[in-house]
Amino acid sequence: MNSSSHDLSARQDRVSPAPSTATSTASGDAPTVSIPGAYVSDKAPDDSSKLKTLLSILRKFIGVADIASVRFSLPAQLLEPTPNLEYWNYLDRPETFISIGDSEDGLGRMLAVLRFWFTKDLKYVKGKPCKPYNSTLGEFFRCNWEVEDNAPPILGDSKKVTATTSTDTTNQVVRVSYITEQTSHHPPVSAFFVDCPVKGITARGFDQLSAKFTGTSIRVTPGAHNLGIFITIQSRDNEEYQLTHPAAHLGGLIRGSLSVTVSDTCFITCPKAKIKVILQYQEESWLGRTQNKVLGVIYTYDPENDNRTRIKEVPEDDVLAKLEGCWTDQVHYTLAGSKDPQLLVDLKPLFPTPKIVPPSTSQLPNESQRFWAGVTSAILNKQFSQATKVKQELEERQREKATERAERQVEWKPRFFENAVTADGRPELTDEGRRALKGLQAEDWYLEESAVQGA
């Protein structure tokens, strides 16, 4: 068994212990650690009455191809008091992200990408499925994570160094910065960018979901503009990895206890290294306990002739390693020619790492926590009528501004990203976007107020 993978669990416990289940909001002049309450749930709450109400609303949408694109407003008591842009990100364990480029071996780097992949959604493993606030056009969220660079090597020679000066970063605190903006309202699309200049690694993409209610569950798939996560390692000659998302099912609506299951195929590709991964999340049986089983294969491929989509289609001669495990527990890999499984990641002791958000005095009116502060406060105080009233006022303001733009024939332009969407799924930062990330790296929270706001 690979002892270094066990070390990851032990060390990560020390880096960030299990956070409080309460949402922490920034106040005063100092940045604040923040983590949505839904990220960690010690015990399942009794949401049966909420889910019955939600079910009665959803039944109106049976047969609708995509309920995510339909205009309807949920009452506040059905919502998690968390902005969508704060909730939805892929850095639940940032130390696995910053270690992706450490290995000198191409297969080692792909295994590090996979370790990141299985930790990026810890919120669904440790927390509860929930419905955050719908993002409004031009709304944005920014934060930092500060983590020790302590994820152990997986395969091959490895070194933890800065991207520019090759200074040793082993066990040193490294800052990761993140910005996301709602770039389109119809369809609802947000762009995101992750930057860790110390380690020379970035990630970007568009988030868009399509959802269909089947009568007993909700099937959630990537939207047309969501082509996955694009990770670039600048110190490896801009080696790029594309990670596509599988479809998921949100079930338990009838029995009153929500759960997430995945039964789909997704892919990770690195054209420069000519290495590809096929992950197959296994379909659950109607009887017995949920297995959450995942199988995978890592193999060499031809980026110019890539037509394999199933594990069984991959010739044994091309296989570099195989994967097997439970995506909510442990995942192992076995190298080609070996019968000895190695531990890739153990999720049991891990929890989502809290974010560091700007102080409330430095947040702009259209910055997520400040924008939704009135709704959040009312929900936390169980003043649901007031929360619904404030929420509807914000939504109406967005509709009014959209009408004004249509009358003046003015096209909405994002602030931090060049375009609302792109054909290749890779958002490009504007000058303001680059300055905002540079400011986050320097802990300079100041931003000028947006000249034009969507709501």
pLDDT for 277 equals: 98
Is 36 in contact with 23 (CB distance < 8 Å)? yes
Between the alpha carbon of residue 111 and those of residues 115, 200, 344, 348, the distances in Å are 6, 18, 8, 19
Q: What is the pTM of this model?
A: 0.89
Tokens of residue 105, six digits: 């071996």
Residue 215 has pLDDT above 80, yes or no: no
Query: Binning pLDDT at 50, 70 and 90, where does residue 62 land?
Result: low
What does the alpha-carbon distance between residue 233 and residue 286 come to, in Å, rounded to a whole number?
42
Cis check for the bond before 187: say yes or no (omega within 30 of 0).
yes
pLDDT for 174 equals: 96
pLDDT for 258 equals: 72
pLDDT for 47 equals: 61
CA gyration radius, the chain: 22
pLDDT for 294 equals: 95
pLDDT for 214 equals: 79
Percent of the chain beyond pLDDT 90?
Answer: 64
Residue 1 has pLDDT above 50, yes or no: no
Residue 135 has pLDDT above 70, yes or no: yes
Tokens of residue 213, six digits: 């209610």
Residue 291 has pLDDT above 60, yes or no: yes
**Least confident piece of the model among 3-17, 130-144, 303-317:** 3-17
Between the alpha carbon of residue 331 and those of residues 90, 273, 279, 295, the distances in Å are 18, 23, 12, 9
**Least confident piece of the model among 20-34, 250-264, 417-431:** 20-34
Residue 318 has pLDDT above 60, yes or no: yes
What does the alpha-carbon distance between residue 95 and residue 438 come to, in Å, rounded to a whole number?
20
pLDDT for 119 equals: 96
Mean pLDDT of 328-336: 96
Is 263 in contact with 282 (CB distance < 8 Å)? yes
Mean pLDDT of 277-295: 84
285-305 burial code (b ≥16 CB/10 A, e <16): eeeeeeebbbebbbbbbeeee
Residue 91 has pLDDT above 60, yes or no: yes
Average pLDDT value for the chain = 87
pLDDT for 29 equals: 73
Query: Binning pLDDT at 50, 70 and 90, where does residue 129 land?
Result: confident
**Least confident piece of the model among 49-58, 111-120, 198-207, 370-379:** 49-58
Is 161 in contact with 74 (CB distance < 8 Å)? no
DSSP 124: H
Q: 373-380 and 384-408 are packed helices; what angle lies between their axes, rounded to 10 degrees? A: 160
Is 213 in contact with 67 (CB distance < 8 Å)? yes
Between the alpha carbon of residue 260 and those of residues 6, 59, 69, 362, 410, the distances in Å are 27, 19, 21, 36, 41
Query: Binning pLDDT at 50, 70 and 90, where does residue 335 land?
Result: very high
Mean pLDDT of 182-189: 93
